[in-house]
């Protein structure tokens, strides 16, 4: 039963390689010129990456627990920590409860992903960076803990000029026209937070910074906000470790856990995009059939997913990928390069239960260089995009961009640099 949780989580977890530091260990940062009462300081709102937001849950009478123990808190109205709850994860009796309560289900009537009936969830600490996951040094690196420290050293104060926009990482923005209550709610909350941050700071426009999965939320938020609103409220967008191309690991994770594939709306977000990887780029190779980013629906079928999976991919996830575009606010993209990154999976005899042979290319350990370079054309070359800058950090891992000493220094000076 604990393996059920393991399977579910492996779709969310990024492997340890992403936690690994690049060449330079974190160092005490130089104090930057800015202080809290610097009249030039713009407020900043941070969106962290996958699994970095924490979730609380409560169980109503409608909950049908997989075992009596899982229903113990039913109807009590008590909110408890669903993610991250190390006690429940490590307890063999409670792990299956966690697996059951953490998954989403697709509701064909509402045409939307929602919690299992009887499970209510909420994101912990919206508005602040204080509840970003930091229960271990690795999670502190991955979840902006070091970045927050560096910003605080530079004079930013949480709740005054520094704000956090954690989100339900199990969800994903869906194509316009597809119901997605979770993302609609997040957009309302983030809009209100940005306006609040600006108001609290003399009406100054706000810097938004995202890492990894947070970038999909931030970019869709910006692109679906009216242009006059963006011009009024957004000073700058800093997108770290996000590319338009997705990543191969998302395919491998689906292959290893097809049964959990429909348990999260975010399961398809990372799949390689046909907008970046053309019909000449093989992603998955077998003796009888090869798959490119154009063949994802066939790939989903080949690994044993029900037809609903391909439909959801084509109607909810793919249009968002194809619509990846310039936010039309001043933007800086920061990505690691020079790290071996999965570029092709070989299941030669077509047996997807076996471990693939992996071919590596250049990237940040997760995102391929081709995807980072595509930012230059998809955002940088858009004639409406007036300011675009891309920073490529050599030898820096996906999470190193927001945690390595030198990378952090660069990111913070970039944020301070947009103040003028
Ligand atoms: C962790 O989960 C268990 C059961 O799922 C719950 O009883 C406990 O209160 C949770 N911990 C926290 C800190 O909420
Ligand atoms: C798939 O690609 C491999 C490697 O390029 C090639 O050897 C093989 O013939 C291709 N298979 C098919 C069915 O096209
Ligand atoms: C596929 O590989 C798995 C794991 O190695 C093995 O148990 C299974 O029998 C293989 N299936 C086929 C059809 O060869």
CA of 369 from ligand 3 middle (Å) equals: 34
Minimal-distance CA residue to ligand 3 atom 10:
351
Q: Choose the catalytic residue: 100, 131, 141, 364.
A: 364
Please say if 364 is a catalytic residue: yes
Cβ neighbors of 154 (< 8 A, separation 6 or more) are: 29, 31, 32, 34, 412, 416
| Confidence category of residue 259, pLDDT binned at 50, 70, 90 | confident
Closest CA to 192 of 221, 158, 216, 220: 221
CA of residue 269 relative to chain centroid, distance = 9
Q: What is the average per-residue pLDDT within 14-39? A: 46
Instruction: Give residue limits of the domains in the chain.
Output: 16-50+130-420, 55-123
Minimal-distance CA residue to ligand 1 atom 9:
80
The answer on pLDDT for 182 being more than 50 is: yes
What is the predicted pLDDT for the residue at 418? Answer: 80
Please say if 42 is a catalytic residue: no
Please tell me the number of the ligand nearest to residue 288's CA. 2
Placement of tokens 């300081």 in the chain: 41
Stated pTM of the model: 0.93
Query: 16-50+130-420 belongs to which homologous superfamily?
Result: Alpha/Beta hydrolase fold, catalytic domain (3.40.50.1820)
Which one of 350, 354, 355, 357 would you pick to mutate in the ligand 3 pocket, going by the greatest count of ligand atoms within 8 A of its CB?
A: 354
Structural contact between residues 36 and 156, judged by C-beta atoms closer than 8 angstroms: yes
Beta bridge partners of residue 107, listed in sequence order: 112
CA of 352 from ligand 3 middle (Å) equals: 8
Structural contact between residues 224 and 187, judged by C-beta atoms closer than 8 angstroms: yes
What is the predicted pLDDT for the residue at 350? Answer: 92
| Confidence category of residue 199, pLDDT binned at 50, 70, 90 | very high
Placement of tokens 């803990």 in the chain: 145
| The ligand 2 atom nearest the CA atom of 288 | 13
Which one of 72, 81, 101, 102 would you pick to mutate in the ligand 1 pocket, going by the greatest count of ligand atoms within 8 A of its CB?
A: 81
Q: Which range among 1-5, 72-76, 219-223 shows the weakest confidence by mean pLDDT?
A: 1-5
Q: Which range among 86-95, 110-119, 164-173, 201-210 shows the weakest confidence by mean pLDDT?
A: 86-95
Beta bridge partners of residue 263, listed in sequence order: none
Please say if 196 is a catalytic residue: no
Ligand 1 in contact with 310 (CB < 6 A)?
no
CA of 253 from ligand 3 middle (Å) equals: 18
What is the predicted pLDDT for the residue at 13? Answer: 57
The answer on pLDDT for 357 being more than 80 is: yes
């Amino acid at each position: 039963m604990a393996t059920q949780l393991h399977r579910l989580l492996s779709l969310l977890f990024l492997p340890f390689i992403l936690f690994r530091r690049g060449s330079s260990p974190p160092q005490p940062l130089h104090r930057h010129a800015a202080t809290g009462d610097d009249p030039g300081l713009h407020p900043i709102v941070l969106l962290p990456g996958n699994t970095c937001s924490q979730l609380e849950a409560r169980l109503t009478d409608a909950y049908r627990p997989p075992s009596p123990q899982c229903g113990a808190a039913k109807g009590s109205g008590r909110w408890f920590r669903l993610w991250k709850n190390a006690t429940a994860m490590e307890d063999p009796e409670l792990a299956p409860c966690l697996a059951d309560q953490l998954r989403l289900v697709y509701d064909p009537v509402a045409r939307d992903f929602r919690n299992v009936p009887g499970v209510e969830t909420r994101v912990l600490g919206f508005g602040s960076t204080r509840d970003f996951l930091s229960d271990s040094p690795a999670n502190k690196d991955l979840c902006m803990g070091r970045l927050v420290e560096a910003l605080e050293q530079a004079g930013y104060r949480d709740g005054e000029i520094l704000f956090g926009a954690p989100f339900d990482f199990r969800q994903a923005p869906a194509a316009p026209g597809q119901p997605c209550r979770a993302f609609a709610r997040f957009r309302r909350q983030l809009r209100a937070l940005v306006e609040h941050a600006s108001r609290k700071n003399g009406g100054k426009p706000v810097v938004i910074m995202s890492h990894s999965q947070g970038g999909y939320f931030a970019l869709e938020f910006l692109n679906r906000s009216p242009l006059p609103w963006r011009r009024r409220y957004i000073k700058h967008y800093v997108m770290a470790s996000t590319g338009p191309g997705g990543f191969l690991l998302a395919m491998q994770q689906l292959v290893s856990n097809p049964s959990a594939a429909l348990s999260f709306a975010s399961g398809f977000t990372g799949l390689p995009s046909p907008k970046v990887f053309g019909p000449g780029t093989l992603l998955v190779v077998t003796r009888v059939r090869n798959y490119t980013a154009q063949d994802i629906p066939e790939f989903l079928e080949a690994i044993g997913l029900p037809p609903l999976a391909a439909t959801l991919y084509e109607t909810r996830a793919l249009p968002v990928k194809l619509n990846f575009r310039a936010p039309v606010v001043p933007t800086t993209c920061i990505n690691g390069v020079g790290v071996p990154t999965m570029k092709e999976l070989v299941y030669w005899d077509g047996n997807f239960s076996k471990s693939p042979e992996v071919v590596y290319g250049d990237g940040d350990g997760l995102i391929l260089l081709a995807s980072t370079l595509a930012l230059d054309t998809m955002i940088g070359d858009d004639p409406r995009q007036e300011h675009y800058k891309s920073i490529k950090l050599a030898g820096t891992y996906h999470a190193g961009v927001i945690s390595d000493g030198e990378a952090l220094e660069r990111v913070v000076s970039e944020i301070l640099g947009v103040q003028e």
